Amino acid sequence: MKRVIKDFISYLSVERGLATNTLESYQRDLIKYLNFLKERQLGCFEDASRKTITQFLLKEKEKGLSPATLTRNLASIRSFYNFLLQEQIVQNNPAAEAETPRQEKKLPRVLSFQDVELLLEQPKTGNPFGLRDKAMLELLYATGIRVSELVFLDINSINLKTGFLRCEGKGSKERIIPLGSMALLSLREYLRSGRPKLLKNKNEKAFFLNQHGRRLTRQGFWKIFKKYTLKADISKEITPHSLRHSFATHLLENGADLRSVQEMLGHADISTTQIYTQVTKRRIKEIYNQTHPRA
């Protein structure tokens, strides 16, 4: 069986001219598969079925392999069986209809409304940095934009009169998002008393500035966010993206329709947004179990 794998790798090298790294990946995948067959006491490749291959992939998944690696493993096995068919060593390809195990989608980590309020209360607005930080946190929760989108906002990206934000997301796709009253209040305070004191160059277009008067970076925001989560002493392990998750979940919990939330988040596919409905259902069940007298 090892000799057949060696012949296959030689075929890939000579006939198809694949790169050395690719050949090594194929060989590694197939040796693992061969060892799995031996553990199952299967004497040749033809003894394997589609179920056997699925079991192999499940075992690899349990080791923590990424979806991309599992997909490559299956591709290696499928190509190998095509070679065996070509050489008339097997009569069928059991990998032809095999699929990689589905990866369970992890539910996003969402803050309670009380924890969000606690976090938003942390910046002290007696100085330009506190005004900036308060405005940034309020804006993230009010709009659900990503940190990368936040730091790339320019001075003309936000219209305080109409209460809308213009944001360029993934794939340079632009979207317009409404701003809540609390976010507008913080943004006005920052523009009036914070940004002018941080500004060093009047031609700077960035909305949020660092201590040097230049555009704040993602790394810079992460440090700021970490500081306030520690001050708030929130028990959950959260990231700036948690505010985006919380924005979507809280909207849905309070009756927003899925299409509107999808539009505001900038999701191309509504199935991406639907994961928040699972969080909402879980939350409803928790409330029911805590409050219903016969739960």
Catalytic residue IDs = 146, 170, 241, 244, 267, 276
How open is the CA angle 271-246-241, to the nearest 5 degrees? Answer: 80
**CA neighbor of 34 nearest in space, from 1, 76, 80, 78:** 1
Q: State the residue for tokens 């001219």.
A: 17
Helices 113-120 and 241-253: crossing angle in degrees, nearest 10, is: 130
Assign 174 to helix, strand or coil.
strand
Could you tell me the two tokens for 81?
A: 């069986």
Give CA separation, 290 vs 178, 249, 281, 283, 284, in Å. 34, 20, 14, 11, 10
Ramachandran bin of 154, using left for φ above 0, alpha for ψ from -120 to 50, beta for the remaining angles: beta
CA–CA separation, 51 vs 76, rounded Å?
17
- Contact between 124 and 130 under an 8 Å Cβ cutoff? The reply is yes
- Please identify which residue in the block is written with the tokens 């009036």: 192
